[in-house]
Amino acid sequence: MAEFDFEAVVVGAGAVGLACGYALARRDLSVAVLEKEAVIGQGVSSRNSEVIHGGLYYPTGSLKARLCVRGRRALYAFCDAHKVNYDRCGKLVVATSPDDVERLEAILEQARTNDVEGMAQLTAAQAIAMEPELACYGALHSPQSGVLDSHGYMLALEGEIQAHGGAVVTSTPFEGATPLDGGGFSIRAGGEEPATLTCRYLVTAAGLFAQDAAALIEGFPKAEIPKAFYGKGIYFRLMGKAPFSRLIYPPPIHGALGTHYRRDLGGQAVFGPNLFWVDELDYSVDPDARAAFTDYIRKFWPAVPEEHLSPDYAGIRPKLHGPDDPQPDWRIDDATAHGLPGLVAMFGIESPGLTSSLALGEEIAARLEV
Ligand SMILES: Cc1cc2nc3c(=O)[nH]c(=O)nc-3n(C[C@H](O)[C@H](O)[C@H](O)COP(=O)(O)OP(=O)(O)OC[C@H]3O[C@@H](n4cnc5c(N)ncnc54)[C@H](O)[C@@H]3O)c2cc1C
């Protein structure tokens, strides 16, 4: 049997790549996670809402539906075991117009189909009794939703990989792979000390660069690489006391869950992300969006003080669809899709990728049959 430098190489040390590394290391495989940046978790995993999603919305049978619920359960257990900070604060999905009430009923039905625990339908009065500053026409309560310290989580994953004898190597871009006769891959890694190494299994979890990573793999059929789209969203932070203790979400917008409220783990109120389409990875935040944000927030928080909303950060979703297309599922391509045994390539791992990361890791291990 061929000898490999590592049994598994994972490209990308975001939440998903690290969770894949952890899943493989737990199976006693020697693992190297390659990260092009100097620090782990600087990609999509550092520019999101840090919400632990219940798993309410995703279509029956989709990867998102299955892996979000499973991943969320595993994530709370992982956080407990590794002392990662979180707040299982619960979430209210709120009807901000009479028309939304019917949409809530559909979301409740989907949530129950998805096996989300503890969902309850509330009248407006019941919801307002829970969150007195709220305005709504009715709501759903999802007690399993929460907020996470995503960087603490990624550090704990890195620690687990290292404790199992694996390596997380930063400042080391993946620059190409060639399938080896008899199985496995030869990997070219760049950085200050470029190196070639071999592995039996290769997993790409490159976030916004997923398509570029796949294109660097010899023999990966170019026609199978999906087109990349960028769905940007920005956030505003409230200067002042947070008005709600639970997450507050109006029903989803087309292509995303849309602007919502969270109280972060520091106790501050954050609103976002909206969704617009960009061609470049540009993380600027337009302060002029404040008025539109205020109008949106006012629908569920009439007392929002516009002058206390301050532009905060932006995130970019690695999307597989454009503005007018239906939102597709994630893509997890194994050998049945691209014909290269030992390779799993992920594309379009947008929300709820953070919540689902541990389940994505288990899914990858299952696809590799390890
Ligand atoms: C605005 C926004 C809000 C979101 N909110 C939530 C939420 O509340 N809850 C939730 O569950 N999900 C949320 N998500 C989704 C979630 O953040 C992502 O699904 C998840 O972080 C993706 O992780 P990843 O590891 O796939 O990608 P990333 O974190 O981007 O990691 C990919 C890594 O690969 C590295 N890389 C790329 N190319 C190479 C290469 N050639 N060589 C080496 N390294 C490379 C990158 O530097 C990066 O570190 C949100 C996303 C966005 C954009």
Q: Quote the pLDDT of residue 274.
A: 97
Binding pocket residue ranges, ligand 1, CB within 6 Å: 11-17, 34-37, 42-45, 47-51, 53, 173-174, 205-209, 213, 233, 273, 315-317, 349-355
Residue 364: pLDDT over 60: yes
AA identity, residue 176:
G
Q: Which residues of 265-349 form beta strands (DSSP E)?
A: 269-272, 276-278, 309-319, 331-333, 343-347
What is the per-residue pLDDT for 178? 98
Are 248 and 299 spatial neighbours (Cβ–Cβ below 8 Å)? no
Q: Which atom of ligand 1 lies closest to the CA of 18?
A: 25
Confidence of residue 21 (pLDDT cuts 50, 70, 90): very high
pLDDT for position 362: 98
Least confident range from 19-28, 110-119, 139-148, 251-260: namely 251-260
- The Cα 10–Cα 32 span in angstroms is 6
Instruction: Give one word for 355, left, alpha or beta, with left for phi > 0 and alpha for psi -120 to 50.
Output: alpha
Of the residues 236, 344, 351, 364, which should be mutated to test ligand 1's pocket, given the most ligand atoms within 8 Å of the CB?
351
- The per-residue pLDDT for range 288-331, each reduced to its tens digit, is 999 999 999 999 999 999 999 999 999 999 999 999 999 999 99
Express each pLDDT in 117-144 by its tens digit.
Answer: 999 999 999 999 999 999 999 999 999 9
* pLDDT for 3: 84
The sign of the CA dihedral 207, 209, 213, 215 is positive
- Token look-up 């693992």 returns 31
CATH of span 6-48+151-226+327-367: 3.50.50.60
Buried b (16+ CB within 10 A) or exposed e, 332-366: bbbeeebebebbbbbbbbbbbbbbbbbbbbbbbbe
Confidence of residue 2 (pLDDT cuts 50, 70, 90): low
Give the residue whose CA is nearest to atom 34 of ligand 1.
Answer: 12
Residue ranges, comma separated, of all CATH 3.50.50.60 domains in the chain are 6-48+151-226+327-367
Q: Check if the beta carbon of residue 154 is closer than 8 Å to that of residue 167.
A: no
Ligand 1 centroid–CA 2 distance in Å is 33
198 alpha carbon – ligand 1 mean position (Å) = 26
- For ligand 1, pick from 44, 154, 172 the residue to mutate: most ligand atoms within 8 Å of CB: 44
Spatial distance between the Cα atoms of 366 and 370, rounded to a whole number of angstroms:
6
Residue located via tokens 């000390």: 193
Assess whether pLDDT exceeds 80 at residue 1: no
Percent of the chain having pLDDT more than 70? 99
Burial (0-12, 13-18, 19+ Cβ within 10 Å), 77: exposed
**Does 51 score more than 70 pLDDT?**
yes
Reported CATH class of domain 91-143+229-319: alpha beta
Place of tokens 């969006």: 289
Q: Per-residue pLDDT tens for 223-244?
A: 999 999 999 999 999 999 999 9
Residue range(s) of every CATH 3.30.9.10 domain in the chain: 91-143+229-319
Mean of all residue pLDDT scores within the chain? 97
Q: What is the pLDDT of residue 61?
A: 95
